[in-house]
Structure 1
């Protein structure tokens, strides 16, 4: 499949559920010693299976009550400048360069519609935008399936 055995998968799932789990707790979940778990984590990091141990923060607790998805189509010759500008605006929390009519699809967090307008006003001279306000996140970011692909022979 992907070079991960059952124990590696257990570690990945356990850390996704709670990245602050101790080596002792991870060892209990996997049925290994703490040093063995530590070595497996080191190998998963080296192989870039694990790239960060992080936290999740509710943006509303920080006053960010509005989330939007913006499709961005740079004006001719402005692609790199638009990308640079998006990177420099902290309200943009994610951005993907995509194929199709739009070059970028970005997610941003703001405190109000007025703040949204202020962010978009910073790029309007370089790009056309199409904005959708997120009403609800039905599926938060999650791991892809950690089992063999459907329809595979094993």
Structure 2
């Protein structure tokens, strides 16, 4: 599935997901229709799960980022997941192993608003919050290689 051409396509798309198929084809030395078919096949197979835009939360007035671990009370797992889904400031929610069952990434405009968001989750369990001070390794693509 991941031959040399597909690896090159994925690498180029990692660098610029908005790349036009004609430009992508030029970069990998193929025709645009052939590249389009390969990209569509990678999407159908689930290798490419989607394309997304990255926005700086601070540019939208949300400079505070927090990582929150939640240890649910008995029977509260589904309620925490639903609260995370219905809270727009929660941009990521992971179900994890260990004493805590959830890990959330939350963006907010201030510590005060972060407190209000956290209060929604305190109804269902204990929270432990860490404020992000920097991001030495920003979100990056997985390494891609032939298999």
Please give the range of the TM-score, normalised by the shorter of the 2 chains: over 0.9
Cα distance in 1, alignment partners of residues 45 and 137 from structure 2: 28
| Aligned-pair CA distance for 1:87 | 1.1
Distance 2:38 2:100 in 1: 41
Structure 1 segments unaligned to the other structure (5+ residues): 149-153
**Aligned twin of 2:34:** 36
Match of 2:96 among 95, 98, 117: 98
Instruction: Give 1:8's match in structure 2, choosing from 3, 6, 23.
Output: 6
Q: Deviations over 1:40-79 (max 9, x none)?
A: 0111011111121221111111011010000001111111
The reply on whether 1:137 has 2:135 as its aligned counterpart is yes
Shift of 1:144: 2.0
Select which of 56, 60, 63 maps to 1:62.
Answer: 60
Q: Which residue of 2 aligns with 1:109?
A: 107
Question: How far apart, in 2, do the equivalents of 1:30 and 1:79 lie?
Answer: 47
Report whether the alignment pairs 1:122 with 2:117. no
* RMSD across aligned positions (CA): 1.3
Contact residue 83 and residue 121 of structure 2 kept, 8 A: yes
Q: Deviations over 1:103-132 (max 9, x none)?
A: 001101001000110001111121100000
Instruction: Give the TM-score normalised by the residue count of structure 2.
Output: 0.95
Structure 1 match to 2:23:
25
Q: How far did residue 146 of structure 1 move?
A: 1.4
Structure of higher RCO (CA pairs closer than 8 Å, 6+ residues apart): 2
Residue pairs, 1:53-92, within 5 angstroms: 53-92=51-90
Deviation of residue 147 (structure 1)? 2.6
Q: Secondary structure at the match of 1:9?
A: helix
Helix, strand or coil at the partner of 1:123: helix
**Matched length:** 147
Runs of 4+ residues deviating >4 angstroms = none
Shift of 1:93: 0.3
